[in-house]
Chains A and B, each alone.
Chain A
Amino acid sequence: MRSKTRQFAQAARAELQNERSRRFLSNFPHLFLVRREAALATFSDPQEAQDYAASIRREAVARLPLLLEEFERNASARGARVLWARDAEEACNLVVKMARERGIVYTAKGKSMLTEEIGLNEALEEEGLEVFETDLGEFIAQQLKRPPFHIVGPAINVPLEEIRDIFLAKAGLLEPTLDPVKLGYAARLFLRDKFHHLRLGITGVNMAIAETGGIVNVENEGNIRLAKGVAPTQISLMSIDKVVPTFSDALFLLRMLCRNCTGQKISSYVTFDHGPRRPGDVDGPDELIIIIVDNGRSDFYPDAKLRDALRCIRCGACLNICPIYGKIGGYPYGFAYSGPIGQILNPLLLGFEQTRDLYHACTLCGACRSVCPAGIDHPGLLVYYRCLEVERKNTGTMKVFGRGLLFALLAFGLSKRGRLDLGVKLLRSWVGDKIREGKPRGLGRFLEGWLRKRDLPPLARKTFAERWKDISIR
Chain B
Amino acid sequence: MGRKEGGKEKDSRNLILNRLRSSVSEVCPARGVRPGLADPPWTGEEKIDLFLKNLADLAVPVYRVKDYQGALSALSEIAEGEGWKKIVASTDPVISALPLKEWGRDKAVEVFYPGDSAGDDACRKVLFEEAEAGISGVDYALAESGTLVLLHNRHQPRLVSLTPPSHVALVPASSLLAVYEELAGRIFFPEGDPPAQVTFITGPSMTADIQMTLFRGMHGPRNLIVVFLEAL
A residues within 8 Å of B by Cβ? 28, 31, 41-45, 48-49, 52, 55-56, 58-59, 62-65, 68-69, 78, 83-86, 90, 94, 97, 134-137, 140, 153-156, 158-160, 163, 180-181, 183-185, 187-188, 191-192, 195-196, 211-212, 214, 220-223, 225-226, 228-230, 240, 247-248, 251-252, 254-255, 264-278, 280-284, 292, 294, 298-299, 301-302, 304, 307
Q: State which of A55, A65, A281 has its C-beta within 8 Å of the C-beta of B21.
A: A65
Q: Which 3 A-B residue pairs are closest in the complex by CB-CB distance?
A: A222-B220, A282-B119, A137-B209
For residue A94, which residue of chain B has the nearest CB?
B9
For residue A183, which residue of chain B has the nearest CB?
B210
B16 & A86 in contact (Cβ 8 Å cutoff): yes
Interface members, chain B 5-45 (any A CB < 8 Å):
5, 9, 12-13, 15-17, 19-29, 31-32, 34-39
A230 & B218 in contact (Cβ 8 Å cutoff): no
B35 & A48 in contact (Cβ 8 Å cutoff): yes
A44 & B34 in contact (Cβ 8 Å cutoff): no
Q: State which of B20, B34, B129, B209 has its C-beta within 8 Å of the C-beta of A252.
A: B34
- A212 and B194 contact, Cβ closer than 8 Å, known pairs A225-B162, A229-B158: yes
B31 & A55 in contact (Cβ 8 Å cutoff): yes
- A42 and B196 contact, Cβ closer than 8 Å, known pairs A52-B32, A229-B158, A229-B159: no
B20 & A64 in contact (Cβ 8 Å cutoff): yes
A268 & B201 in contact (Cβ 8 Å cutoff): yes
Chain A contacts for B211, CB-based, 8 A = 156, 158-160, 180
CA–CA, A420 and B36, complex, Å: 55
A301 & B23 in contact (Cβ 8 Å cutoff): yes
Q: State which of A43, A222, A228, A294 has its C-beta within 8 Å of the C-beta of B16.
A: A294
CA–CA, A247 and B184, complex, Å: 7
A86 & B209 in contact (Cβ 8 Å cutoff): no
CA–CA, A117 and B147, complex, Å: 32
B180 & A282 in contact (Cβ 8 Å cutoff): no
For residue B20, which residue of chain A has the nearest CB?
A65
Instruction: Give min CB distance, B62 to chain A, whole Å.
Output: 17
A44-B38, A156-B210, A283-B157 given; name 20 further pairs at CB < 8 Å.
A31-B212, A55-B32, A84-B16, A136-B218, A153-B212, A156-B209, A156-B211, A180-B215, A195-B128, A222-B220, A225-B220, A229-B159, A248-B34, A266-B145, A266-B200, A269-B202, A270-B199, A281-B152, A282-B154, A298-B20
A191 & B200 in contact (Cβ 8 Å cutoff): no
B196 & A136 in contact (Cβ 8 Å cutoff): no
Q: State which of A85, A278, A298 has its C-beta within 8 Å of the C-beta of B193.
A: A278
B39 & A44 in contact (Cβ 8 Å cutoff): yes
CA–CA, A228 and B159, complex, Å: 10
- A134 and B39 contact, Cβ closer than 8 Å, known pairs A183-B210, A254-B180, A282-B115: no
For residue A135, which residue of chain B has the nearest CB?
B209
Instruction: Give min CB distance, B185 to chain A, whole Å.
Output: 10
For residue B219, which residue of chain A has the nearest CB?
A222
How many pairs, one residue from A and one from B, have CB atoms within 8 Å of each other in the complex?
260
A284 & B197 in contact (Cβ 8 Å cutoff): yes
Interface members, chain B 189-222 (any A CB < 8 Å):
193-213, 215, 217-221
Instruction: Give min CB distance, B203 to chain A, whole Å.
Output: 5
For residue A255, which residue of chain B has the nearest CB?
B180
B197 & A268 in contact (Cβ 8 Å cutoff): no
A196 & B23 in contact (Cβ 8 Å cutoff): no
Tell me the interface secondary structure of chain B in the complex. loop
Centre residue among A58, A212, A251, A301 by max chain B CB count within 10 A: A251
A272 & B198 in contact (Cβ 8 Å cutoff): yes
B183 at the interface (CB under 8 A from A): yes
For residue A32, which residue of chain B has the nearest CB?
B212
CA–CA, A271 and B201, complex, Å: 9
CA–CA, A155 and B156, complex, Å: 35
A271 & B199 in contact (Cβ 8 Å cutoff): yes
B197 & A271 in contact (Cβ 8 Å cutoff): yes
User: What are 9 A-to-B residue pairs whose CB atoms are below 8 Å?
Assistant: A42-B38, A155-B209, A220-B205, A222-B219, A251-B184, A265-B146, A273-B197, A283-B158, A298-B19
A221 & B219 in contact (Cβ 8 Å cutoff): yes
Centre residue among A63, A69, A273 by max chain B CB count within 10 A: A273
Chain A contacts for B97, CB-based, 8 A = none
CA–CA, A271 and B147, complex, Å: 12
B37 & A65 in contact (Cβ 8 Å cutoff): no
CA–CA, A69 and B18, complex, Å: 11
Instruction: Give min CB distance, B39 to chain A, whole Å.
Output: 7
- A28 and B212 contact, Cβ closer than 8 Å, known pairs A84-B12, A284-B152: yes
For residue B14, which residue of chain A has the nearest CB?
A84
CA–CA, A229 and B156, complex, Å: 12
B114 & A282 in contact (Cβ 8 Å cutoff): yes
- A191 and B34 contact, Cβ closer than 8 Å, known pairs A65-B17, A155-B209: no
Instruction: Give min CB distance, B179 to chain A, whole Å.
Output: 9
Chain A contacts for B24, CB-based, 8 A = 302, 304
Instruction: Give min CB distance, A349 to chain B, whole Å.
Output: 15
Instruction: Give min CB distance, A288 to chain B, whole Å.
Output: 8
- A63 and B25 contact, Cβ closer than 8 Å, known pairs A136-B209, A220-B207, A255-B180: yes
B139 at the interface (CB under 8 A from A): no
